[in-house]
Chains A and B, each alone.
Chain A
């Protein structure tokens, strides 16, 4: 039996060294400055008053009590709020997470919309004053979600244009002897990073420095500049550490401009820390979905038809699309494929990216349906995946650059002890606990984005790497340190890394699991340019001093730009503007070292196995152990990679069993808007998680051969758990989260 990796795994083939995190000592001593930690002299404190209805107008707003309170500097409402420019949504080429501009008029457009902002001498006074503001609303009945009166269906242009299909689904479906036709749903979820959403704005003349958690400092800074009409060169975002992001801190929200403009208006720094509950309405969230999956197979289990149709909630203002059916249909060989996505527009804030945005909900649908198909075929679910495994896209026919899905299944199954499973539901128990085992596929596409990097090497053998990439816990500092050290032939301890600052050369968004592949490629390229100064081969560290003397310099600085295959230098220009999707390949320019032509399939894969235990009387669901095996090309650091997989599987477990933002159907309001009632996993939920790093070599994805891993391991966990619940109880739960109430009825 294969041994899962211990906390500090030994590197296997094609893996770097498992050194401790670059910033580890700082983090265990309380030294890193997160956004709200910056010591600022004499700041003012802002606090929002947020709306108590989801739709309507403000009938009356009485701020006199608040204004009269000692220490209150100013109360901003729709009557006196500074104007801001309308900036487009991130998905239509702009910067905003939500284009609804609060305090621009007297309308309320969603739960928790901002109706006033108090700025005061202290946090205590600002909070108290916000509570004293009296608001009356002319409320209208809001549409909360699917099926609510007033919710409007819309098929987005993008979905129609990009709809993936192959063959003739209807024909294949009608001929299939074995069919699964099932409907699944996934709930609203909020990121709930432990670091709160905060913004501190400090003006120095016409220069603005601001501190807020950001997964994309160039985008946040450029977007804010556009909103408030300031030259982007005068806007500086500092955020070296992100206290958890998961997508929630990827895109500029409307709060930032209000804080920045209040600071300019009042001539003093202003600090805002959103209350935990306020984040539910003032940032993004994972949209709830409803899906229909139809799988048709021949009697040997070979897929002959697959249709995946999704409905997703979004706001009135913006057409945010989750769009996961594009990814699910690439999973297995199948000749006849159809997809569709329909948006349902409701009186909600705009949803957005949350850890594996498309894959988390839609792979739950597909991988649950695959299990249902295995049951219908009386076939082992691992074998069903093997039969339908593919090395090329069933849509385009393009080959995967590498795909080790079945290696993952085989290693994880062996470590888990899958062969001991009795496939019959209700067949395994211990005392009063029913036991179920389930498995599912994890996948995440290898995304990449342009990046730049600058490295300065001095004769004493020390290097400084600068790139405005972001570390929100993925281990990005460490990865950049190791990539630079390796190419420069240095001990990693000699490498300093600076990130998370819009004054540094731009790096990619910390999203799409692409930091290492993208920023890492730029760092690798810059280091290569330094090596070129020495003729291509780096001198040994002890010989550097002499080598520098021969060159007649004391330091070498190189700046590099890198863009992914199929993109060109315009991708770097877009990056400087903080544009997320500005890559485009129209110019078709190719950079040396990049593979050209075609659109190969690039993705990481994994297989997850879980055991659930369900009490026969009270129906609590517990997960005593999980095993996951993952293959994602070159692994820069097995220690931090293992931690990401580990945390990912636990995230996936919580997503399956615990996490749902409850939406009041009548009021369109988030009800459990705190982390006592919005349940995330706690330590006691996680007895045993085994991670297996499956070696994989991919020479085509990028110069480093790395794929993204941060959003891989949480995909598939929910389906694995649902499949295990079925095995334990004989009940198929198709609506997440799987809670005891669904097993008690």
Chain B
């Protein structure tokens, strides 16, 4: 029997363009998109630009950016911690701004630049924020960490990391149940100067 588990590396190395079915292709105009049955899913072809790569997907309109990343593109670094906009674990950058991918439809991200934790390190070199999280032990279980780091990078870029107090306030949308908070503040303080020099 064929093993149903697929290799992550193999998957990530696969062609980024997913075959688009005729059914989905025909569902592009608003008229054609109306469901045949009242309860039938509405499909939509969505081109997502994730970490610099364009990926074409045939999705249910209900699919969130989070589920598109995790279930369709197998970019599982972005985490689901509540699926209702309360924890920040799913934070990604959309056109450079930090947003919650669980409350963003994949369709809303069409044509916009999505950056996830997998896209932060460049050429095998960690982003200064990633290195700072290591240096300051700014995580324990690691589950909220991708969201924390994406949020922290944006926090610095927004100019909201001027004081410890400001960092704490602007990082409060990212829950850490292990409560590594003081170390996260220390990490942001370390990274912000390096990011400034970059």
Chain A contacts to B: CB under 8 angstroms: 7-8, 20-21, 23-34, 36-43, 65, 68-71, 122-125, 128, 132, 191-196, 202, 204-205, 209, 241-246, 268-269, 273, 275-276, 471-475, 639-640, 642-644, 646-648, 650-651, 654, 674-676, 680-689
Contact = CB atoms under 8 A, between A and B. Distances in A.
A710 B137 CA distance: 16
Contacts of B5: 38-41, 202, 209
Contacts of A681: 179, 181
A473 B142 contact: yes
Nearest to B165: A687
A643 B180 contact: yes
Interface string B160-198: 000011011101111111111111111000000000000
Contacts of B116: 30
A73 to B, nearest CB: 14
Nearest to A21: B137
Interface in B27-71: 37, 39-41, 60, 62-63, 67, 70-71
B84 A674 contact: yes
13 contacts: A27-B142, A28-B134, A36-B80, A41-B6, A65-B39, A70-B41, A125-B60, A242-B141, A472-B140, A473-B139, A639-B137, A640-B137, A684-B168
Interface in B120-142: 120-121, 126, 130-131, 133-137, 139-142
A347 to B, nearest CB: 27
Nearest to B61: A124
A475 B177 contact: no
Contact of A684 (B117, B142, B172): B172
Interface in B76-129: 76-87, 89, 116-118, 120-121, 126
B182 A646 contact: yes
A243 B146 CA distance: 12
Interface residues of B, number: 76
A363 B77 CA distance: 39
Contact of B177 (A34, A38, A128, A680): A680
Contact of A124 (B62, B140, B169): B62
Given A473-B141, A683-B184, A25 B134 contact: yes
Contacts of A31: 77
A196 B80 contact: yes
A687 B1 CA distance: 56
B184 to A, nearest CB: 7
B180 A647 contact: yes
B141 A244 contact: yes
A646 B86 contact: no
A676 B134 contact: no
Nearest to B149: A28
Contact of B37 (A20, A70, A204, A684): A70
A320 B8 CA distance: 41
Nearest to B75: A30
A29 B130 contact: yes
B121 A195 contact: no
A28 B79 contact: no
Interface of B: 1, 3-8, 11, 37, 39-41, 60, 62-63, 67, 70-71, 74-87, 89, 116-118, 120-121, 126, 130-131, 133-137, 139-146, 149, 164-165, 167-169, 171-186
A666 B166 CA distance: 43
B39 A42 contact: no
B82 A675 contact: yes
A194 B143 contact: yes
Contacts of A676: 84-86
B78 A276 contact: no
B80 A39 contact: no
Contact of B117 (A24, A30, A132, A209): A30
Contact of B145 (A28, A639, A684, A685): A28
A195 B145 contact: no
Given A196-B80, A242-B141, A24 B134 contact: yes
A675 B145 contact: no
B146 A204 contact: no
Given A31-B77, A39-B8, A195-B79, A682 B175 contact: yes
Contacts of B180: 643, 646-647
A23 B141 CA distance: 10
Contacts of B120: 29
Contacts of A132: 39
Closest 7 CB pairs of A and B: A30-B77, A243-B143, A473-B140, A473-B141, A30-B117, A650-B179, A27-B142
A34 B145 CA distance: 13
A674 B82 contact: yes
B182 A33 contact: no
Contact of A70 (B40, B84, B174): B40
Nearest to A688: B182
B12 to A, nearest CB: 9
A246 B139 CA distance: 15
A643 B143 contact: no
A567 B77 CA distance: 42
Contacts of A685: 181
Output the residue of A68, A124, A132, A648 with the most chain B CB within 10 A.
A124
Nearest to A25: B134
B41 A204 contact: no
Contact of A646 (B7, B164, B165, B179): B179
A472 B141 contact: yes
Nearest to A242: B141
A30 B134 contact: no
A683 B172 contact: yes
B39 A70 contact: yes
A481 B179 CA distance: 24
B51 to A, nearest CB: 11
Contacts of A243: 79, 141-144
A276 B102 CA distance: 13
Given A28-B133, A41-B4, 13 more contacts: A8-B136, A30-B118, A37-B70, A194-B141, A194-B177, A202-B4, A202-B5, A204-B3, A245-B141, A639-B137, A642-B137, A646-B180, A676-B84
Nearest to A71: B41
B143 A30 contact: no
Nearest to B117: A30
A194 B176 contact: yes
Given A25-B134, A30-B77, A276 B140 contact: no
A647 B140 CA distance: 9
Contact of B121 (A29, A276, A686): A29
Contacts of A68: 39
A646 B77 contact: no
A28 to B, nearest CB: 4
A10 to B, nearest CB: 14
B181 A39 contact: no
Contact of A205 (B1, B137, B143): B1
Output the residue of A37, A38, A40, A245 with the most chain B CB within 10 A.
A37
A25 to B, nearest CB: 7
A40 B153 CA distance: 31
Contacts of B8: 33, 39
Contacts of A124: 41, 60, 62-63, 67
A191 B141 CA distance: 14
A630 to B, nearest CB: 16
B34 to A, nearest CB: 15
A643 B183 contact: yes
A39 B11 contact: yes
B186 A7 contact: yes
A475 B117 CA distance: 22
A119 to B, nearest CB: 15
A205 B41 CA distance: 33
Contact of B67 (A30, A123, A202, A472): A123
A402 B186 CA distance: 34
Output the residue of A41, A43, A209, A475 with the most chain B CB within 10 A.
A41
Contacts of B77: 29-31
Contacts of B169: 683-684
B168 A686 contact: yes
A643 B174 CA distance: 18
